Amino acid sequence: MQKSLSTRQGRLLLRHLMIVLVVAVGVAVFALPVAAAGPTKYPIAFTFTTVLPDLCSFTVNQAGTVSGTGIDYFDKSGALTRTFNHSVEQDTFTANGKVLVGIPYDVNIEVLFDSSGNMTKMYANGIYEKILLPDGSLFISAGRAEFLHHGVFFLLSPDKGNPGNVAGFCAALAP
């Protein structure tokens, strides 16, 4: 009788171990694709120049320096779904032989992608520009804008929020 009881206990123990092994293998198999699709963090650092033809009644040139951190997010299949950037930007504006140098400001930009990898939204939240104007006033614009609606890389003023004193900005660069 005792031999039968220990064989029975052995079978139960073996069954429990097999269940634990199957569950562990299942977790490992299903966790691998999720782990492979984790967010990727990377540094951002670049400079750019652009022309702003419609901001004032004359063309304004802009040069900017950007540094910060980007994070790319992926779905379970590894396709990029979202990019989030937090950066510090400083801009210089020139027109008619005059120069305005901006104060460094923080900005957050988020880009969303569809399943084919196409951008569906690109919006920024936060400060858009800070400049000490020659008259001693501070030009500051802040809020939220959807860049894809505008088809541009840079906006001086957001769609929603404080647009800043654009007239004062233009007057500082006017001929």
Rounded Cα distance between 70 and 83, Å, is: 7
Q: Which tokens in the block code for residue 80?
A: 């990029």
> Per residue in 68-118, pLDDT tens?
999 999 998 899 999 999 999 999 999 999 999 999 999 999 999 998 889
Report the amino acid identity of residue 78: G
Contact 138, 131 (CB under 8 A): yes
Rounded Cα distance between 61 and 71, Å, is: 30
Query: Would the pLDDT of 21 be above 50?
Result: no
| pLDDT score recorded for residue 12 | 42
**In percent, how much of the chain has pLDDT > 70?**
78
What average pLDDT score do residues 20-37 get? 47
Report the amino acid identity of residue 87: S
Where is average pLDDT lowest: 47-51, 130-134, 152-156? Answer: 152-156
Where is average pLDDT lowest: 16-20, 24-28, 29-33, 165-169? Answer: 16-20
pTM of the predicted structure, to 2 decimals: 0.73
| pLDDT score recorded for residue 1 | 46
